[in-house]
Amino acid sequence: MNFKVGKLSKLLLLTFGLFIFCSIIVAILAQPIEANQYKIRVGDVIDITVEGYPEYSQQRTVRIDGMISYPIIGEIKAEGLTTTELEETIFRALSNRLSSFTKVYVSVVQFKRNSIYVFGMVKEPGRFSFETEDIYFLQALTLAGGVDYEKASLKGIQIRRAGKIDKMVDLTPLIGNAENIEDFKLQPDDVILVPSLLQQQPIFVTGAVLKQDQYSITEDRIHVLKALRMAGGPEQDIADLSNAMIIRANGDTIPINLEVVPNPGSADEANFLYPGDVLHIPNAYEEDKVNVVGAVVRPGQYAIKRPVDMIEAISLAGGWLEDIANLKKAKIIRADETQENVNILEMVETGNIAGSPVLNPGDTLQIPKRLRINWYALFTVTSIASLIYNILK
């Protein structure tokens, strides 16, 4: 007996088929999004990946004004947003260039590491880094192993900020009851100085030296070169002796060129440190970095002491990922936003590695991933489409 499906039955079958089709597409393409409440901060390094559009995939550092520069869009406010909110912002700005199924992924690949310094009569003086937004005075003392009660003067503890004394703290109530101490929030780069019972005002040597610490002096003053020797001398190939700085106890700063050896017999006060003074030796290469992102073993920022060629930069990142790296479509994004396409595969095959481009501080080398076809998803979609077609024939 021949059975004909009426128009209503066909419509119901079509609706049911489309429902199954859409359900499978959603199940295949949907990706769970983990809630991320972290707010992006100045100094964070963020990686932006636009699925299927390698030319829009970037790695950017959030500038001091909270902004990042991004192709096509221009300036984007990133500070204070979660990664999910920044993903939505970028997608909306690029929506007229992307398909509706395109996904934008934003991740923080390097958090801004803040630092505080604890010197003086504590058990483990030094620099302490932290990634949290807040750190408190008592927390900082705990990081330094606590106060050395046999040597420390609990009165007159200094909180130094921007080279000047910002606050004086008396810890004597801590002996009776810790609740009597009013804790307070510190700011990045604050210095806590716990004075000694015997020597209330030592000198300090910080920066690119072998041993950052405080040093007690018995004289009224000490020559800068002697202070540098007390700290083990400068870190070779890193210390910038020509831009050294003396920070007086009252906050005054005096630049000094230690490459030109001051005369120890000179009466010039600029060559001497007095109790409470700081000698700071800057790091010559602290800001010189290149970025290597994309299909490499360890994408990220890498400090350099000089311009490096592209192959050396790839080595710093652990090399490219053989299975997925698209070496033909590599790109160098210069610090001035100009771009240069590079065919690494051709260079390797021809042996012309010696002529590889040079990366300068602030440059980014981007090695995109090869596009892969999800054959399972394609086969499933094709099968469902074929089923609907056969029903409606």
Reported as a single tens digit per residue, the pLDDT across 299-353 is 888 877 678 888 888 888 888 888 888 888 899 998 888 889 998 888 877 777 6
pLDDT class for 217, splitting at 50, 70, 90? confident
CA dihedral 336, 339, 340, 341 (to 10 degrees): 160
Q: Collect contacts of 246-255 with beta carbons under 8 A, ≥24 apart.
A: 246/270, 246/273, 246/277, 246/278, 246/279, 246/280, 247/163, 247/277, 247/278, 247/280, 248/274, 248/276, 248/277, 249/201, 249/274, 249/275, 249/276, 249/277, 250/164, 251/162, 251/163, 251/164, 251/165, 253/163
Q: Where are the alpha helices (DSSP H) in the chain?
A: 7-29, 83-94, 137-143, 173-176, 224-230, 310-316, 344-350, 375-392
pLDDT at site 234: 92
Element at 113 (helix H, strand E): none
pLDDT at site 232: 92
Contact 256, 231 (CB under 8 A): no
Contact 219, 249 (CB under 8 A): no
Which range has the worst mean pLDDT, 67-81, 110-124, 195-209, 293-307?
195-209
pLDDT at site 8: 54
Q: Is the pTM of this model over 0.85?
A: no
Say which residue, 131 or 366, is predicted with more confidence. Answer: 366
Q: What is the DSSP annotation of 132-145?
A: SS--BHHHHHHHTT
Cα–Cα dist 339/70, whole Å:
13
**Mean pLDDT value across residues 256-284:** 80
Q: Give me 53's structure tokens.
A: 């559009």
Residue type, 200: Q
Say which residue, 284 or 7, is predicted with more confidence. Answer: 284
Is the pLDDT assigned to residue 26 strictly greater than 60?
Answer: no
> Mean of the per-residue pLDDT values for the chain?
78
How buried is residue 321: exposed, middle or buried, by Cβ count under 10 Å (0-12/13-18/19+)?
Answer: middle
pLDDT at site 380: 58
Q: Give me 219's structure tokens.
A: 């004289």
Which residues on adjacent β-strands are paired with residue 118?
A: 126, 192
* 8-state DSSP, 328: G
Contact 301, 364 (CB under 8 A): no
Of 184, 198, 189, which Cα lies nearest the Cα of 278?
A: 189
Contact 299, 255 (CB under 8 A): no
**Which domains are present in the chain?**
1-30+288-393 (3.10.560.10), 45-110 (3.30.1950.10), 113-200 (3.10.560.10), 204-286 (3.10.560.10)
pLDDT at site 224: 92
